[in-house]
Amino acid sequence: MNKNSEEMKALYEKSPYPQVLNAIQMQTVPMLIHWINAAVAPNGIALHPQATILSAGCGSGDEVFLLAKQFPEARITGLDFSATAIRIAREKAVALQLKNVVFETVDLTDDAWVSKDQRFDFIACHGVADFVDAPQKLLSNLSNCLSENGVLCITVNSPHHPAARIQAAYAQLWGRSNTAFEDSESHRKGLEMITQLMGQTVGIEGIEKAPKAYLDVDIFPPFAQHLAATTWIEYARQVKLNFAGTLDGPVALSQLEDKVMNLLYHFDRPSFSKWVLALQNKPGTQLLFCKHTPAKICFNSSQISDWMPKLQPILGQLPLMNCDPLEPRPVRLRFAGMPDLVLNTRAYDLEVLRRCDGQNMLKDIIKSIGVEQSQTNLWTQLFRAYQYGLIS
Ligand SMILES: C[S@@+](CC[C@H](N)C(=O)[O-])C[C@H]1O[C@@H](n2cnc3c(N)ncnc32)[C@H](O)[C@@H]1O
């Protein structure tokens, strides 16, 4: 292990994550679970009741416990190189009487832990890759233990993460560069002033009140990557992981009016996600990868009518068209902690979606309804539904 990794490891040994920050984002968000599964459609789902799951860089195990609650029959492994974090995780697992979780102390960049016989359907790796100085080795190990239809969900900071700017400003304010946060009243006031001066773009609220351990590892770490999403996507491609998209894509889409949607028809889910990430300059994102190439649906007139769309069960039973085909029938998709995603459909468009069972081509579905409608409107609904992962 080199000096950077040793220093990071020492910080996590001293203050195991996520005690330093009570913010587990992903498993509380059903939309993300749906989206993760949609990314591997139609080859089966990654997050299912009996899935084998890995939390890579699990800290003291909160993510594992959330997953164990949500999937009580799944087999869940938590790996981390902080022995302190793993000891706490094991103690918690005993206290919670969980039998389906195991924790091991391993360095994720060392391939000794990757077993030929152990494959995971779902791997979550949040807040780890940025602080590893051999990220390609980490990705290669994760790829080698991902099952054929599995999904890797990795949370990374972007070059727009405020940490680097805060570090530089802090160093100028105190006349020297810092790699650890000096916890005093004046330094916290200085931090508050810096974030106020940075304005609304900071992305981290109330950072001046954050625990020292969080500031030490996430804002003033001895080492951090903060690479562009496209670099992570390229690293992943080199180890045979295909980019499948981010949740930023569908969320951005929910803000758009139908009239502009046809400008986006050429985007599949991965390329639309990349485009949105580049536009939004967010401090970080969750990237999804899988081993097979995600299906590319092309929304051009010559190809779309030969598509055999399949509706995902999440939408439930859609109502029959027993009214004026033009009647508005918005479908509001509600997910905890997310903005609503709205399909502004009409009765006719819903009837088409209702018949998308993967058995018939779109042109046959349209013929079977026997009512003439504008194709442009229908394509807009199909495009939205496809980007949301509602149809594949
Ligand atoms: C920022 S914390 C994130 C913890 C957890 N994934 C979460 O989202 O709350 C990063 C974790 O990754 C672990 N970690 C960092 N580099 C590692 C490596 N090379 N091998 C194993 N664990 C590592 C740290 O010990 C720490 O627990």
Q: Which atom of ligand 1 is nearest to the CA of 13?
A: 25
Q: What is the mean pLDDT of residues 216-238?
A: 92
377, containing H or E segment? helix 375-387
CA–CA separation, 339 vs 259, rounded Å? 21
Lookup result for tokens 């290669």: 140
**Mean pLDDT of the chain, nearest integer:** 88
Distance from the alpha carbon of residue 57 to the mean position of ligand 1, in angstroms: 4
DSSP string across 72-106? TTSEEEEEES-HHHHHHHHHHHHHTT-SSEEEEE-
* 307-357 residue pLDDT tens: 999 888 777 788 889 899 999 999 888 877 777 888 889 999 999 999 999
Protein residues with CB under 6 Å of any ligand 1 atom: 8, 12, 17-18, 24, 57-59, 63, 80-82, 85, 107-109, 126-128, 131-132
pLDDT of residue 122: 94
Higher-pLDDT residue of 9 and 97 is 97
Distance from the alpha carbon of residue 308 to the mean position of ligand 1, in angstroms: 42
pLDDT at 96 over 70: yes
Which of 3, 24, 53, 81 has most ligand 1 atoms within 8 Å of CB, for mutation? 81
pTM: 0.91
Distance from the alpha carbon of residue 298 to the mean position of ligand 1, in angstroms: 39
Q: What are phi and psi of 178, to 5 degrees?
A: -125, 140
Name the closest-CA residue to atom 1, ligand 1.
127
pLDDT of residue 178: 56
Distance from the alpha carbon of residue 387 to the mean position of ligand 1, in angstroms: 31
* 152-170 residue pLDDT tens: 999 999 988 888 888 888 8
Q: Which atom of ligand 1 is nearest to the CA of 106?
A: 21
Domains and CATH numbers, the chain: 3-159+226-290 (3.40.50.150), 163-219 (no CATH), 301-387 (no CATH)
Residue 3's CB: how many other CB atoms inside 10 A?
10
Q: What are phi and psi of 101, to 5 degrees?
A: -125, 140
Distance from the alpha carbon of residue 80 to the mean position of ligand 1, in angstroms: 6
Q: Is 181 exposed, middle or buried (0-12, 13-18, 19+ CB in 10 A)?
A: buried
Label residue 205 left, alpha or beta by phi (over 0 means left) and psi (-120 to 50 means alpha): beta
Distance from the alpha carbon of residue 139 to the mean position of ligand 1, in angstroms: 14
